[in-house]
Amino acid sequence: MRVLLLSNFYFPEKTGIGVTATDCARFIKELGHKVTVVTTMPYYPEWEVPEEYRSSFYRAETIFDIPVKRVWLYVPKTPSTLKRILHELSGSTLSFLRSLFIRTDLVLCMSPPLTLGFASLVLAKLRGKKYWCCIKDIQPDAAIDLGMLNNPLMKSVSFWMERHMYRGAEKILVLSEGMGGNIIAKGVPKEKIVVVPDSIDCRELAATDRSRYETEFRQGHNLGNSFVVLYSGNLGIKHNVEIIAECAALLRDNPDVRFFICGEGAAKPAVATIIEREKLTNITLLPLCPREELGDMLCSADVLLAPQRKEVRDIVVPSKLLAYLSTGRPIVASATSDSESAKLLRENQAGLVVEPENAAELVKALLRLKDNEAEAKSLGQCGAELVKTRYDHSIVKERYYEPLFKNL
């Protein structure tokens, strides 16, 4: 069968939906189908198109033996609500137009953005083809909760698009039972919902036989035996990375503890402001780590951080958490107690959970692990075993993708 995958994010993007979309395309191809990807020029999470893609309006390339058709999109330097709308509309509209000329039997869309999900539905209807959508984040709920969508008209339009997207889909792929329950509560038949979790290559980021004190990252930053607390990934609004700088301020007199924030995103300037205002020397801001160096960096940490804003009540396991778990390092999450992240870590003894937006409690958890190496080691080992037995590429492909795509 010919499958057309539409996503505003794709390889070489290193975080979030881009990773999921790339894995999805590869799994479907490995199951014997012909896959074509329509996506935009890469830009995330830096919100900047790489130089080699800037001069193109359309571009065709082959990645992992899969044809990829790229289109231009508007990428604002400082995203605002209006600019984000124009950003999403530009990519979705051009992806729709590009897809009109591609032969397919199934249109599969990665959402968000909602505009691409709706455009993909219209495309499938016009072509008389099957339409499936894969939901990575519940929109517009998340945008409203975070205060990113307040205009009454835009709310109404967003809910209208969401309702029609779900209604027109033959199957709706979700990342967890919790996400499926949210969509069912909106009146979507349970029979449409199919759980397909994110996955990861557990071998890629796993710790080596070397001690974490011998990693290139530690040696390059002259860290010695310092207690390293690290965050890596998208510095988005919902991740509340500012709290890491607040923790660094609380521990400024503890020379053994070093903080690192590695990534790009809208919240990076706010973190830099706190560091400068407080004159902090125990925290370092770094750009997004190249994938080939990510394992070494994550395995250098004594603790990996997963903060969230209190408005975020995630109903999925964030892809960042899977990367963290695969390293065998303990995790401290600052998250609501009923979030999927909190439940996963608690139920599997894979990390500590503290209430969100409470820097003092987060510091207390960090010092607890600093003073108790046996507990830290146990949490890390439990996390590595969890991701190995439940979320490895091979397991997710066999348990979820194969039944769904093999007999199309």
Distance, CA of 328 to CA of 376 (rounded, Å) = 10
Neighbouring CB atoms inside 10 A of 58's CB total 12
The CA angle 87-266-118, to the nearest 5 degrees, is 30
Q: What is the pLDDT of residue 193?
A: 95
In angstroms, the Cα distances linking 391 to 305, 340, 367 are 20, 15, 30
Q: What is the pLDDT along the chain (408 residues), one digit of tens a residue?
A: 999 999 999 999 987 899 999 999 999 999 999 999 999 999 988 888 999 999 889 999 999 999 999 999 999 987 777 888 899 999 999 999 999 989 999 999 999 899 999 999 999 999 999 999 999 887 776 666 656 666 677 778 888 888 899 999 999 999 888 888 889 988 999 999 999 999 998 877 776 655 666 788 999 999 988 999 999 988 877 788 999 999 999 999 998 999 999 988 888 899 999 999 999 999 999 998 888 888 889 989 999 999 988 776 665 567 788 889 998 899 999 988 888 888 889 999 999 999 988 999 999 999 999 999 999 999 999 999 999 999 999 999 999 999 998 777
- What domains are there in the chain, each with its CATH number? 2-199+393-405 (3.40.50.2000), 202-390 (3.40.50.2000)
**What tokens appear for 309 in the block?**
């804003």
β-strands 58-63, 66-71: how paired? Answer: antiparallel
Name the strands in the sheet holding 257-264, side by side, starting at the edge strand that comes first in the sequence.
Answer: 283-286, 257-264, 227-234, 303-307, 331-334, 351-354
294, 326, 331, 372 from 207: Cα distances, Å: 11, 8, 15, 20
Among 167, 197, 158, 36, CA closest to 107? 36
